[in-house]
Amino acid sequence: MLTQKSSRPTPQRLLDAAEKLMRTTGLARATTKAIAREAGCSEAALYKHFTNKEELFVRVLMERSPNAGPLIAELTDAAGSGSPRSVLDRLTAIARHAALFYADGMPMGASLFAEPELLKRHREGIQKIGAGPHKVLDALAGYLEGERGRGRIRADADPRAAAALLLGACFQRAFFLHFSGEDTVDPVDDFAPAVAGAVWAAVR
């Protein structure tokens, strides 16, 4: 049922509408026009609060999904503090959050890959607001680089490759979860310490 149009939509109401449509119809079909209609406002009113649909998508992921944002902020401040054990603890926490984040976000974004032109526009929109999936990789690689400089991981270890291995495993779990079903993946509370431990064993 459509909401009666309001000339003063709040950002939260627009985010509510964006989240609902992105989760039920997919990102490709959740146009700004459809989001505005769901929120009960005009498309022009939507653009008073958000630059584009991609900004809405990023905000939904960052504010309405399990995400690694707070942990990435912690990683930026944490390099060099604590014991070597705390490195493993942080890798485990990142793996858990990344696994949940990818599992939650994959259904919303998957429809983009069926439409190359839409994917291109989405990529350009994400770049315009300075966001993108590489941000998590960059932060984790930077954290591990700092730990390597402090002698907590091997001098010949590759921090970016280690970060890619951990996050890649989390992304693969999300793919298997949605494509093959829950019985093909380990529960996240078992998966996260296992994959973090494997990466830690390779670089410690």
CATH of the domain at 41: 1.10.10.60
Q: Is residue 186 part of a domain?
A: yes
Q: Does one domain contain both 189 and 123? A: yes
51 occurs within a structural domain: yes
Q: Are residues 138 and 189 in the same domain?
A: yes
Specify the number of domains making up the chain: 2
Looking at the fold, whether 33 and 84 belong to one and the same domain comes out as no
CB contact at 8 A, 94 and 71: yes
Measured CA to CA, the distance from residue 94 to residue 87 in angstroms comes to 11
C-alpha pair distances (Å), 74 with each of 77, 78, 128, 132 = 5, 6, 25, 19
**What would the pLDDT profile of 116-140 be if each residue is shown by its tens digit?**
887 888 788 778 878 778 888 998 9
Examine the domain organization and report whether 42 and 75 are in the same domain. no
Instruction: Please report, for the domain that includes residue 137, its CATH number.
Output: 1.10.357
| pLDDT 10s digits, 31-90 | 999 999 999 999 999 999 998 888 888 888 777 766 656 666 766 666 556 677 788 998
Tell whether 101 is covered by a domain: yes
Q: What local confidence, expressed as pLDDT, does residue 170 receive? A: 96
**26 and 125 inside one domain:** no
Residues 6+ apart with CB under 8 A from 6: 40, 41
Domain check: are 95 and 164 in the same one?
Answer: yes
30, 104: one domain: no
Kindly state whether residues 47 and 114 are assigned to the same domain: no
Using the structure block, give the residue that is written with the tokens 């989760």.
23
Same domain, 116 and 188: yes
Q: Where in the sequence is the domain holding 159, given as residue range(s)?
A: 67-203
The pTM (predicted TM-score) of the whole model is: 0.77
Are residues 36 and 135 both part of a single domain? no
Provide the pLDDT for residue 117: 80
CA-angle at 180, arms to 174 and 184, nearest 5°: 75
